Chains A and B, each alone.
Chain A
């Protein structure tokens, strides 16, 4: 197989409950935990087949640290997409930015995403980007290996394992349990954070107009965010033993807990 170009899209997230405005700092921003397995699977495939891994992230300047972590893990190149006009982008506007940026990079064979993010949890950005780029996508991939001119993939769905063969170029999102992301070596971390070698691209570099992204390019708006109040209610089942039994079975099967 020829050398691959694998692009991993990752996000820097804030691990704090959204209470008012959050000031993003290096302390409170981390690489989205669901993106680590994505980076890992990309690196493993590259190591097996040969080629390069490019890590791409849209976010505020502090998101550069997540890219440096990916570099420390072994990514060959990193690109930070940051621009005041990208702020407030919803998933579609984020996909628009990623699409524009990916189009500026050398052609890719595989586009890798995490399944979702720890801070907004939509799982939409990967599929939206794949659709906008016109490449097939397989989500929730739990295993991947090179095969033919593409790869063989497994995904778990509804208690079944589906196996696919897929030609490149393609896109995948990686099940968080698919692989254990590697630990970062101290020397690699020192080099990555010492060199701080990543490209920084704004809208101009990716040739996108401000209207196409950020708040103005976002068809959806988050109006409010409030914590969900969970209430535990205890229900007593009345009747004789047989009635109680039937009622309990009824309850559990209606709730989908038994089938």
Chain B
């Protein structure tokens, strides 16, 4: 497997970093503290193409490859995990399924405004009684009057508070079990579409994660994505790309924590020397750097596989598992290297530590990932 960073990827990383340094880094701590979604920055990102990264040009996107996508998510997440989350979920589990499974009419209708960032997308699978067990959802979309009547209680919806176009997983044929699950596109503003309270989260606080409830919400038949019954297939395909995004996000957060730890270790003096001179600190830094590097390579490999049109499901799952566990370990060590100051909001590492934690939970927990990977290995 050949992971080639081309001149374009190098220039891309620089351009994204420049944007983050100017627009995101300066507000990252504040939007976390205030749990505020930074519309002013998100609008700029929309105009620059961040909401249609892999969307074809003719549909209003930037038409980039998966490796570019990984680099972009990594860089944004190193500045703000919350904004990285907004961008990765929008691109990979809202826009991508519309592109991959939507009819030409569906694509033309929903994708361009999403790709230009004029509308925000969300992916609504999780319910109070169905998390890891996606097949256990209760939401229904029952055929009626030539359309569907949707009833759903979706929780933990990333971008929920601001989303315009939601992919809702619901049973169109309750008797058919897992084969009766479909994806219904529900637009904010449709009667019966209700945005619930925002979650008061541990990390990723600038993302308006909320519940979305649909009460007898009537949608046209044309709002079923793909065909009725394709829900879980669409969900799995979306999560393959989604996981790559979460893995890239984890790498970005881990890198930010490592950079911060290195800088602090050079400047903090104890026992007459900068703490970087203590071997215990050096061992931590070595482990952190090695793990971040390995995680990044795994993410880039999954992306490169995808770009070459090959199966990347297992590699993306492995990358997500390893990168998310790396991010929690590395941010933990970054706090440790900062001592008491690491536990204070005066330094950014406590934010990285909180933000990193959820990467082991969403888009499939580490446990679920191990199950999937083991199944692949053991057959």
Taking beta carbons and an 8 Å cutoff, which residues of A are in contact with B? 26-27, 30, 65, 68-69, 72, 183-190, 193-194
Contacts and interface: CB of A to CB of B under 8 A. Distances in A.
Contacts of A30: 14
Interface of B: 6-8, 10-12, 14-15, 18-19, 22-23, 44, 47-50, 53, 57, 61-64, 68, 72
A186 B57 contact: no
Nearest to A181: B18
Contact of A186 (B6, B7, B44, B49): B49
B20 to A, nearest CB: 10
Contacts of B50: 186
B283 to A, nearest CB: 28
Contact of A193 (B8, B49, B61, B72): B8
Contact of A187 (B7, B10, B44, B62): B62
A27 B10 CA distance: 7
A190 B63 contact: yes
Given A190-B62, A190-B63, A185 B47 contact: yes
B15 A189 contact: yes
A64 B255 CA distance: 30
B11 A193 contact: yes
Contacts of A65: 7, 10-11
Contact of B49 (A26, A187, A194): A187
B85 to A, nearest CB: 18
B11 A183 contact: no
A183 B41 CA distance: 12
A72 B16 CA distance: 13
A26 B5 CA distance: 10
Q: Which of A72, A186, A188 counts the most B-chain CB atoms under 10 A from its CB?
A: A186
Contacts, number: 60
- A27, A68, A185, A190: most-surrounded residue (chain B CB, <10 A): A190
Nearest to A194: B8
Contacts of A193: 6-8, 11-12
A65 to B, nearest CB: 5
B8 A183 contact: no
A69 B11 CA distance: 8
A187 B57 contact: yes
19 contacts: A26-B7, A27-B10, A30-B14, A65-B7, A68-B7, A69-B15, A183-B44, A183-B48, A184-B15, A184-B18, A184-B48, A185-B48, A185-B49, A186-B49, A187-B61, A188-B49, A189-B12, A190-B68, A193-B12
Given A183-B22, A185-B49, A185-B62, A190 B15 contact: no
Given A183-B18, A183-B19, A184-B15, A189 B8 contact: yes
A238 B23 CA distance: 51
Given A183-B18, A183-B22, A190 B10 contact: no
Nearest to B15: A184
B52 to A, nearest CB: 8
A179 to B, nearest CB: 14
B15 A183 contact: yes
Nearest to B65: A190
Nearest to B19: A183
B13 to A, nearest CB: 10
A150 to B, nearest CB: 33
Given A30-B14, A185-B47, A185-B49, A190 B7 contact: no
A57 B10 CA distance: 19
Contacts of B7: 26, 65, 68, 193
Counting chain A CB atoms within 10 Å of each CB, the highest count among B19, B23, B49, B61 belongs to: B49
B48 A186 contact: yes
Contacts of B72: 186
Contacts of A69: 11, 15
Contacts of B47: 185
Contacts of A26: 7, 10-11
A151 to B, nearest CB: 28
A186 B11 contact: no
A84 to B, nearest CB: 21
Contacts of A190: 8, 62-64, 68
Contacts of A27: 10
Nearest to B8: A193
A186 B63 CA distance: 9
Given A65-B7, A72-B11, 6 more contacts: A26-B10, A30-B14, A65-B10, A68-B11, A186-B62, A190-B8
A200 B88 CA distance: 38
A68 B57 CA distance: 19
A68 B12 CA distance: 11
B236 to A, nearest CB: 27
Nearest to A193: B8
A235 B44 CA distance: 52
A185 to B, nearest CB: 5
Contacts of A187: 49, 57, 61-63
A132 to B, nearest CB: 32
Contacts of B6: 193
